[in-house]
Chain A
């Protein structure tokens, strides 16, 4: 064992002072900015809520909330003007419903195919293509619907115009596919291998395993995927503005021309004057739109968190 003979003690040279907290002003300032940037998301979200409420709520002094929500006529320039958003609300609901109904089997089927059936090679080539779709600008999809799909729908259903709820729904279903596919696929991937092995051990085929084991186990994730798809469809603006037809009547059939809430705001805001009734009414539509997507996203986030914890080890 080596032992040092001398135990040189290093004298504490003004130790206390040298350890005292430095000012580091530059860093404090940067860190202040970092904190501000961190909280900016809250500020923007609160800003959105504030602006929508501040500009939108005054309309209820003119039109009661019930009249506003359930009124079937939207005539901002008649005298007296009426602001009933039922046509927009029903349009949004109808288009979103059809779009989702179309997108669910395709999206979940595609996710199951990519997660469980496809070879690595097919997966590697397919996924980027679907990711490209999520990058398509919505105005591009609107234009495609306008130029290519609407004539098709018009002849197929023998309509006066192909610009209708159905055309918008089909385009929207296509646009909500990427998010549904990617989130569902993640959920399917998270299903533990042991579940599948147990199923195979009982003699189940691959398809039976997917249908009876994987999809039920991933159900909450798939549900969240669908909700995110719904959120996207509700909020989508340009596509529906361009292809839904823009009619102000309450739609009855999917092939009716429609005006969803987003399109109503986009087409009306250009010639609204700040503070006038129409301007207020459009912001009030924004409030309802915001609340709808907020709810959908909050629920989807919750469900995803739960799903994540379910298989976390």
Chain B
């Protein structure tokens, strides 16, 4: 091997080591955060912590209202976002023509996906809290989060529907079945795994999103559970924000416990989505 060749080999090896390090820098913190959170937070997660109301500004007691509040938020978000997202996906794949309106819709979706979450908060405040007069409430928060999830649910539904083979549609249309019936009985059942993936991701985002609900209705401490959609609510991510940043003297184990719970909720939905997607891909 000549000297020049050797130096080329050396520079290749050096470069690859750097690329490997870059990858490690992306991967190691993720694992570190997960493991560190589990170790620091696991001790705090007791039956009482999960089922009791908070006391002393969250320093003691449990986080039941935050868990319930987040559960309602996830439910509300998916309830509003999923039907609209599916229908929008159906429109774009089955009905939309190649015209300016479709272009505008697609552009709106791309941009909606990039709007900062705090701006969605302002939107929710202006529209749902004030204009619609829902007040600072679960309903306003769910609608706000649903608007934020709309872009993602629409795109995942669209991709899932596009993946349904054209032959199925043709077979159905060719025996006089109408377009909507074809969508309802052939296309949507086939696209279901992909659509569910989008829904699950939307749920996961709703569970972790903080900035919008900070604007439209999350409460710091509530002595009771929300009784109606017009009530204020506690939520896990907002609770993590307040106990970590605003309540000095909160035992670290409590804060890490809240963090762990939030991480578990969010990541388990993410993993569920990944599993559904992998399975659907496998089946094809």
Nearest CB in chain A: distance from B87 CB, A: 3
CB contact under 8 A between A207 and B114, given known A39-B101, A136-B33: no
Among A41, A113, A133, A208, point to the contact of B30 (Cβ < 8 A).
Answer: A133
Among B23, B96, B150, point to the contact of A118 (Cβ < 8 A).
Answer: B23
- Chain B binder among A60-68, A83-91, A282-290: A282-290
CB contact under 8 A between A48 and B30, given known A39-B105, A41-B151, A266-B214: no
CB contact under 8 A between A137 and B262, given known A39-B101, A262-B211, A297-B110: yes
CA–CA, A119 to B219, complex, Å?
49
CB contact under 8 A between A113 and B22, given known A51-B122, A133-B30, A235-B118: yes
Q: Which residues of A contact B231 (CB under 8 A)?
A: none
Asked if residues B119 and A286 are in contact (CB atoms below 8 Å), the reply is yes
CB contact under 8 A between A289 and B118, given known A40-B84, A109-B19, A207-B15: yes
CB contact under 8 A between A132 and B118, given known A27-B180, A297-B111: no
Asked if residues A34 and B95 are in contact (CB atoms below 8 Å), the reply is yes
- Chain B binder among A9-17, A122-130, A152-160, A250-258: A122-130
Interface of B is mostly: helix
Asked if residues B211 and A266 are in contact (CB atoms below 8 Å), the reply is yes
Asked if residues B270 and A132 are in contact (CB atoms below 8 Å), the reply is yes
Q: Which residues of A contact B18 (CB under 8 A)?
A: 109
Q: Is B104 an interface residue (CB 8 A)?
A: yes
Nearest CB in chain B: distance from A230 CB, A: 10
Q: Which residues of B contact A113 (CB under 8 A)?
A: 16, 19-20, 22-23
Q: Is B12 an interface residue (CB 8 A)?
A: yes
Q: Which residues of A contact B95 (CB under 8 A)?
A: 31, 34-35, 38
CA–CA, A207 to B110, complex, Å?
35
CA–CA, A210 to B107, complex, Å?
33
Q: Which residues of A contact B195 (CB under 8 A)?
A: none
Asked if residues B12 and A34 are in contact (CB atoms below 8 Å), the reply is no
Q: How many residues of B contact A (CB 8 A)?
A: 88
- Residue from B90, B114, B178 with most neighbouring chain A CB atoms (10 Å): B114
Among A138, A147, A235, point to the contact of B114 (Cβ < 8 A).
Answer: A235
Among A44, A117, A135, point to the contact of B266 (Cβ < 8 A).
Answer: A135
CB contact under 8 A between A298 and B111, given known A37-B87, A38-B96: yes
Q: Is B229 an interface residue (CB 8 A)?
A: no
Nearest CB in chain B: distance from A42 CB, A: 5
Q: Is A110 an interface residue (CB 8 A)?
A: yes
Q: Is A242 an interface residue (CB 8 A)?
A: yes
CA–CA, A90 to B8, complex, Å?
44
CB contact under 8 A between A205 and B8, given known A45-B108, A130-B27: yes
CB contact under 8 A between A138 and B151, given known A41-B108, A110-B26: no
Asked if residues A133 and B209 are in contact (CB atoms below 8 Å), the reply is no
Q: Which residues of A contact B118 (CB under 8 A)?
A: 235, 237, 262, 265-266, 286, 289
CA–CA, A208 to B8, complex, Å?
9
Nearest CB in chain A: distance from B130 CB, A: 6
Q: Is A270 an interface residue (CB 8 A)?
A: yes
Q: Is B52 an interface residue (CB 8 A)?
A: no
3 residue pairs, one from A and one from B, having the closest CB atoms: A235-B116, A137-B208, A38-B91
25 sampled A-B residue pairs with Cβ under 8 A? A44-B147, A44-B150, A45-B111, A47-B127, A51-B123, A54-B126, A109-B21, A110-B22, A110-B23, A110-B25, A113-B20, A129-B27, A132-B34, A137-B209, A138-B208, A139-B210, A140-B208, A142-B245, A143-B255, A174-B26, A207-B15, A235-B117, A242-B245, A266-B118, A297-B113
